[in-house]
A and B are shown apart, each in its own frame.
Chain A
Amino acid sequence: MTTNKGMNAGLPRRSVLTGMAAAGAAALMPRRIQAQEQITLRWWSPQSSPEQLAAYRTQIANFEALHENVKVVFERTSDEGYAPQLAAAFASGDVPNIVTHLPSFAVSNYWRNGLLEPFNDVIEMIGPEKFYDGVNRIYEIDQGQYAGTSIGNSAANMIWLRRDLMEKAGIDKNPRTWDELLSACEAMQGGGIYGAPLPYGRNSMTTLIFIGVIHQAGGMVFSPDLDVAIDSPETRDALEFYKAMRQYCPPGATNYSWGDSLTAFVSGACATGIYTGRVLINVANQNPGIAEHVTCDLYPTKSADIAPWTFNDFPSVFIPKQAGNMEATKQFAAFLYDPEGYIQQLHAAPGHVLPVLKTISNDPAYQDNEIIETYSEEVELMSSAAANGFNLGWESTEHQPNTKAGEVVNSGVIAEMVQRVVLNDENVDAVLGETATRIEEIMAG
């Protein structure tokens, strides 16, 4: 006969059985209960300059202080890389909890495919009355259901100018039309300085900027009913203007994206620039010598009777439907608008991401910023331009929301059109016809 020495050593059988039962019960305890004890939320954003990262750290720390069992991890993505990264994340089910600063047209595409959690609860937590009128309209793709909301506004195609170079070239006013811009570039180019850093690369910047140029010619990519309307005389004019501008751009503009174009102006290599208000903080940090000469305006149009068209990508916030810990995720999404952290985030690049809450714009803490004070006129102009801005997902107030806009942008078909006409000198009619067909295929797909 064998005996259990352990038991004989002093542990009664009842105690052992009780212990085993307790251990078994603990092992069988639903994991969600354990998960409530320690939660990790993943936050993705393509906006991650050092100043913005510092602001995010504040927001994360403040939220974690309020919720001891929550840990928030920030993960960078990029303007060019978010689409494939999110596609892979959705396909694998390994999604972030919250994604910020992606353009609104990306959000509508994901919503249409049933990949997002309705954002109504978060908007309610923030307070719908605090938002500027119309901010959430673009996210209401289905009646009464919000796919996300804006974390800010942006005016991405402002023209940036150097007053000192304009004065030196005898230019007394900001260019309003394309002809005036071409003349100004001609006058300011020289001595190692180029006229403009327009993008001609095969990337999203070229696509998004050129969509603006089509509108600045009075055209559009889609009709209000979302029929493809890119094959038009206005697009031909836009291509002609873009081709004419090539001689005033640095040789490497054929490969420029957002960062290259920004740096070309900020470094002083180009007399004009095309970007958001991020220019201001970059000039202040990287080239303060030109800071007092920098100003911005609405990008010129083909003629003075065509109204300017500002590209606003409506930097967004949304929550993937597959994300875990939904309650905590929604609380964190709403917390991003908490004044302390939100204002620090906006101050990270003043004028780059503009507030969408009236309460923040009027907050003295937001106004209390050296750059916003110094460039108050420019910030005001960008704010009003962004408020009246559009993008491919919503080309005008007449347009229906275009849930395929993200795929059109990511396909690169418009950037390719620009490259084929401007760089390869291919036949415009043939290229436009093929481009229209390809966009129709994407819309049908």
Chain B
Amino acid sequence: MTAIATDPPRSAVSSPLERAYARLGVLLIAPTILVFTLVIVYPLLAAIYLSVFSIYTPTLQGGFVGADNYVELLTGKAFWNSLRVTLIWTVGTLTLQIVAGVGLALLLHQNIWFRSLARSLVLFPYFLSTVVAVLVWKWLFNDLYGALNHGLMQLGIIDMPLDWLGSMPNAMIGVILVGAWKYFPFVVIAVLARLQTIPENLYEAARIDGAGPIARFWDITLPQLRSVLTVIILLRAIWDFKEFDLLYLLTGGGPVTSTQTLSLLVYQEAFGLNQMGQAAAYSVGMMLVMLVFMVLYIRQTKEKA
């Protein structure tokens, strides 16, 4: 009977060179870990820490209140109302962005005149500063001098100027429209890039089989776009969910709280009411909701990989 020789434990055989490589590896990854800790882990822990205190924002002084801020979050109306508003805004603007983005990407994929110029111009809203974009749109929406009301009245569609941003549901429709206009170019870029990689022979085969343009779109283009659209939808959902400046500048969350999303609620609590602890609790709640999007995104990208 012979004994089978087994490998000795790896640690026992690791050479000085391997140990040096391991130390080098730790050294090389350390800056990344440090930056990650400073810019992500620390603020995250700080927010969770702040959320169990009642803190006056300007002085950052306050006392421990335990779970009181979370009890207020769960039992009060503010968080849930803002969550509802955030979901309406996110779904509304994202849907428009996707529809407009895919539609325009398909158009720009065709061999049309001034295609290069059009492809450049379509990026314009995305590059424009949000403050500038909002100023322009506020002027367009203005009841007394706005081009939108003026045009609609000239066309005989309305008799009196519409209150675009001060009453519901116009205010929500207004911010959704402006949000879609501002961010749809991102969808155009991503979809256009994917469209250019779809093999032409798929379309040729479909044509030979008698498929029309609509059938080709549903049976070839859309399935080919599926993976990129999933990523776009998840990314844009995350970005739209936490949108602040556009909504704050357009409506300030009004009328009443009809367009007050979670980001605006956190801001109002932290700097309007100077309640940093409660604001931190709201932001932790917001982060937990966003975690769902994050998990979906990570799973999707893993599947792709």
A and B together in one complex: yes
Interface of A with B (CB < 8 Å)? Answer: 80, 83-84, 86-88, 90-91, 110, 113-115, 200-203, 250-256, 264, 267, 269, 407, 410-412, 416, 419-420, 423-424, 442, 445
Contact B166 A201 (CB under 8 A): yes
From residue 8 to 61 of chain B, which have CB atoms closer than 8 A to chain A?
56-60
Given A84-B267, A113-B56, also A251-B251 (CB < 8 A): no
A369 CB to nearest B CB, Å: 31
From residue 56 to 75 of chain B, which have CB atoms closer than 8 A to chain A?
56-60
Residues 63-100 of chain B, each 1 if its beta carbon lies under 8 Å from chain A, else 0: 00000000000000000000000000000000000000
Q: How far is the CA of A379 from the CA of B276 in the complex (A)?
A: 43
Q: How far is the CA of A228 from the CA of B255 in the complex (A)?
A: 25
Q: How far is the CA of A250 from the CA of B166 in the complex (A)?
A: 11
By a CB distance below 8 angstroms, the chain A residues around B163 are 251-252, 254-255
Contact A269 B56 (CB under 8 A): no
B139 CB to nearest A CB, Å: 11
Contact A407 B58 (CB under 8 A): no
By a CB distance below 8 angstroms, the chain A residues around B145 are 267
Residues 206-231 of chain B, each 1 if its beta carbon lies under 8 Å from chain A, else 0: 00000000000000000000000000
Secondary structure at the B interface, as helix, strand, loop or mixed, is loop
The contact sample of 16 A-B pairs, CB cut-off 8 A, is: A91-B58, A91-B60, A113-B56, A115-B58, A202-B252, A251-B163, A252-B143, A253-B166, A254-B166, A256-B166, A267-B145, A407-B273, A410-B272, A410-B273, A411-B273, A424-B256
A62 CB to nearest B CB, Å: 32
Known: A87-B271, A424-B255. 7 other contacts (CB 8 A): A90-B58, A251-B161, A253-B143, A407-B273, A407-B274, A412-B272, A419-B254
Contact B144 A269 (CB under 8 A): yes
Work out how many contacts link A and B, with CB atoms closer than 8 A.
103
Q: How far is the CA of A269 from the CA of B60 in the complex (A)?
A: 46
Q: How far is the CA of A267 from the CA of B167 in the complex (A)?
A: 24
Query: B179 within 8 Å of A by Cβ?
Result: no
By a CB distance below 8 angstroms, the chain B residues around A423 are 166-167, 255-256
Most buried by A among B252, B267, B276: B252
Q: How far is the CA of A435 from the CA of B271 in the complex (A)?
A: 20
Contact B273 A416 (CB under 8 A): no
B146 CB to nearest A CB, Å: 8
By a CB distance below 8 angstroms, the chain A residues around B267 are 84
Contact of A255 among B59, B160, B161, B251 (CB under 8 A): B251
Query: B105 within 8 Å of A by Cβ?
Result: no
From residue 131 to 186 of chain B, which have CB atoms closer than 8 A to chain A?
141-145, 160-167
Contact B58 A110 (CB under 8 A): yes
Query: B268 within 8 Å of A by Cβ?
Result: yes
From residue 266 to 296 of chain B, which have CB atoms closer than 8 A to chain A?
267-268, 270-276
Given A91-B59, A412-B272, also A252-B166 (CB < 8 A): yes
Q: How far is the CA of A87 from the CA of B267 in the complex (A)?
A: 11
Contact B272 A83 (CB under 8 A): yes
Residues 239-276 of chain B, each 1 if its beta carbon lies under 8 Å from chain A, else 0: 00000000000011111110000000001101111111
Given A201-B254, A254-B167, A267-B144, also A84-B161 (CB < 8 A): no
B257 CB to nearest A CB, Å: 7
Given A254-B166, A407-B273, also A87-B255 (CB < 8 A): no
